[in-house]
Amino acid sequence: MAAPKKKQGKTSDQHGTTQVKGTLAQDYVTVVGASYMSTMEKLRGQRGNKMRFINQGIRQLTKYPPGTANFSTQRVFLIFKDDYEEKLLTALKDVVENKHGAQYRELDTVSGLVDFIYTRQRRGREIKQLDFFSHGVVGSIELGYELDKRDSYRLRDAQAQMFKPEAFAYGAKIYSYACRTGLGIDADFKVNEGEDPHYERSLAQILANATKATVWAFPRRSNYDTTYGTKAERDSVDGIRKQMSADKATLEQYQNQKVAYKRKLVAHRKAANNESAELPGEQPPVEPKPTVTEEQRNLVAHDTSRRYYENKIGYPLDALGAYRDVRSGDTPDGVPKQLCEYKPA
C-alpha cells in the first residue's frame, strides 16, 4: 500500500509537514459473478435477471476515471464465466474493450482472482477501487451461486485473507453488492432487538482487515430490481418513444417552415430593394421546445441498447450499463438498510 510518508522539516514536530510520495499505476476493478437462471426463467426465456450482474458491472466502469494512454490509470472488468454463453462473452468483451476502454478478463476459479490481486505489486500497480456484483450469503460472495462450479467460485474468509494490503492503494475502497456481506450472523428474516449482528465477524470486516482498505457492504440482502429502471420507468418507454417521434416530426415541420420563410423573405427584400425589409404581418416560425427530457432520452437509450443485443445475441446486454444502482433489500430486518462502512481493525 502506497501510504503517505511523513518528512519532518526544521520546524517543531507540531508543525512537521506531510509529503505524499508518487503512487504506483492504479487499477479500478469490477468483478462480475456468474448468474444462474431458474427453471421458470429458462422456460419463459426471461434473461434480464441473468444479465443484471454484467450490466451493473458495465455501469460501474462508467463511474471510474477514464483509462490513460500510458496505463497509469486502468479500468478492469473481471467476469466469472461459468454458464455464460460464448456469444454473450464475445459481445461483452467488445463492449468492455471498445466502448469503455477497459481491460477484459475471464476467470474460472476464485484462485484466479486471488492471483490477479497478488500480481498487482509485481506489475508495479495497485488497486484503488474494487467492486463485486454477485450473489452472496452470510460469510461468502457467491461468484457461482447454484452452478456446478460454485465451490471453486466461492470467495470466503480464507481467500479474503490472501488479499495482501500491498496490492491496494492508500485510501483504496472495496464495495460488495452481494447479499449480506456486511453481516456476521446467519440471520435470514430478522435480527432481533438486542441481538448482536457481529459486524466484526462479517466478510466485509475480514476484507477490510486483510487489505487495509475501507469496505462498503450491505448487512441486508441486496436488490437488483431497478437495474433496468423502476417498473414505472420501464412501462413509460414506449410512450416516450412516441413523444420522441412527435418531437422529431414537429422539428422537421419547423425546419421546413423556416426554409420557406427565409425564401419568402429574400424574395420580398429583393422586390423592395431593401436588405432590411421584413415581411408585412408575418413573423418567423418559432423553434419548438422538445417535450422529452434528457433523462427520458437516456432511459430510452438504455432500452434501445438492450433490444439491439437481445436481437443480436439473445441477451439484453446494455452497452451503457445498468440504468440504476443496486439498492438494499428488505431482509433481514433489524440492521441498516444501506451500504455500511467497514474500516480496517
CA distance 195 to 122: 44
Residue with cell 468492455: 96
The pLDDT value given to residue 40: 81
Domains recognised in the chain with CATH numbers: 23-228+324-342 (3.40.50.720), 232-313 (no CATH)
The pLDDT value given to residue 8: 34
The pLDDT value given to residue 21: 45
The pLDDT value given to residue 23: 67
Q: Which of 74, 83, 56 is nearest to 116 (CA)?
A: 74
Q: Which of 170, 137, 130, 173 is nearest to 156 (CA)?
A: 137
Q: Which of 255, 263, 303 is nearest to 282 (CA)?
A: 263
The pLDDT value given to residue 39: 82
Residue with cell 437481445: 310
CA distance 52 to 226: 10
Q: Which of 186, 85, 88 is nearest to 136 (CA)?
A: 186
The pLDDT value given to residue 22: 47
CA distance 85 to 326: 24
Task: Report whether the peptide linkage leading into residue 332 is cis, meaning its omega lies within 30 degrees of zero.
Answer: yes
The pLDDT value given to residue 43: 79
Residue ranges for the chain with pLDDT beneath 70 = 1-23
The pLDDT value given to residue 1: 57
CA distance 270 to 311: 56
What's the pLDDT tens digit per position in 184-227?
Answer: 999 999 999 999 999 999 999 999 999 999 999 999 999 999 99
Long-range contacts from 251-255, C-beta under 8 angstroms, 24+ separation: 251/287, 251/288, 251/290, 254/285, 254/286, 254/287, 254/288
